[in-house]
A = this chain, B = another copy of it.
Amino acid sequence: MSSSAPLPDLDRLCIHTITTKSWDVETAAKKFSAAGVKGITVWRDAYAGRDITATGQMLRDEGLSIVSTCRGGFFPGATDADRQAAIDDNRRAIEEAHQLGAPLVVLVCGAVPGQPLVESRQQILDGIAAVLPDCEATGVKLGIEPLHPMYADSRSAVNTLGQANDMCEQLKSSHVGVAADVYHLWWDPALETEIARCGKLGALFSFHVCDWRSPTIDFLNDRGLMGEGVIDIRQIRGWVEAAGFKGFNEVEVFSNRLWAMDQDEYLKLIIESYYQHT
């Protein structure tokens, strides 16, 4: 098992806009930049109603790398019309990422409660294939994010890194890879192996960090900051780096508890936990 040394600086620290969601994108950009953060992943709500191209320029002017946008996906649907609407929305997401200057759209692939998972999985493959021409035209890539099995009913029928790797192999496109998030994947006995495989496929596009609190009290909004939970994040970062990943470590935390804090204090905690536990 490889494990990495502590991170020496903030050069690879990226924060998702949702992590400090009460800040609008202009405020987040200024605060992140002033704190020495170098990357930002922009959720689509953060640029909604704005001139997207100008927003991208504003972020770059603050010295931030735009790492990705969140999120596309949700391809499965009960009807042809639902699935077509999802494809249309993903095409919009790709175009928006292109305007923003983001190289990647993260995919929460989707699931329909009660629909067989095998069917949803096929619809996800079909949906991604349908939008690949948009990726090729714009250069924007897609990152399949396998979600924790506790979301298999309604959020994603892609629940392990092994599955995501299989999909990359099937789709055979340099525009499709994986967004690996420790929160979703940490429990998997095959994780180290599948990270290595993902690296060999050239498909390890992004790496998300946060922590799994014990106990966790909410299915969505009780993630921990790194070090607040049970995940050995540094070990997993070691595996990811051993697989050739050189990108950002993206802090993506949904937490009612942390959102209720003073957000300037919270940003300091993020940086502290980045040095100590990432």
Contacts and interface: CB of A to CB of B under 8 A. Distances in A.
Interface of A: 113-114, 116-117, 121, 148-150, 152-154, 159-160, 162-163, 186-189, 212, 214-217, 219, 229-230, 232
B114 A214 contact: yes
A215 B154 contact: yes
A189 B159 contact: yes
Closest CB pairs A-B (n = 3): A152-B187, A113-B214, A153-B214
B153 A150 contact: no
Contacts of A150: 148-150, 216
A188 B149 contact: yes
Given A150-B149, A153-B212, A214-B153, A230 B113 contact: yes
B148 A230 contact: no
Given A149-B188, A152-B186, 14 more contacts: A113-B230, A114-B230, A117-B187, A117-B189, A121-B189, A148-B149, A148-B150, A149-B150, A149-B187, A153-B214, A153-B229, A159-B187, A162-B189, A163-B189
A109 to B, nearest CB: 13
Contacts of A148: 149-150
Nearest to A153: B214
A186 B151 CA distance: 12
Contacts of A212: 153
A117 to B, nearest CB: 7
29 contacts: A113-B230, A116-B232, A117-B187, A117-B189, A148-B149, A149-B149, A149-B150, A149-B187, A149-B188, A150-B150, A150-B216, A152-B187, A153-B212, A153-B214, A153-B215, A153-B216, A153-B229, A154-B214, A154-B215, A159-B187, A159-B188, A159-B189, A160-B189, A162-B189, A163-B189, A215-B219, A216-B219, A217-B219, A219-B219
A112 B116 CA distance: 34
A11 B154 CA distance: 35
A159 B212 CA distance: 16
Among A186, A214, A216: residue with most chain B CB under 10 A: A214
Nearest to A191: B117
A277 to B, nearest CB: 12
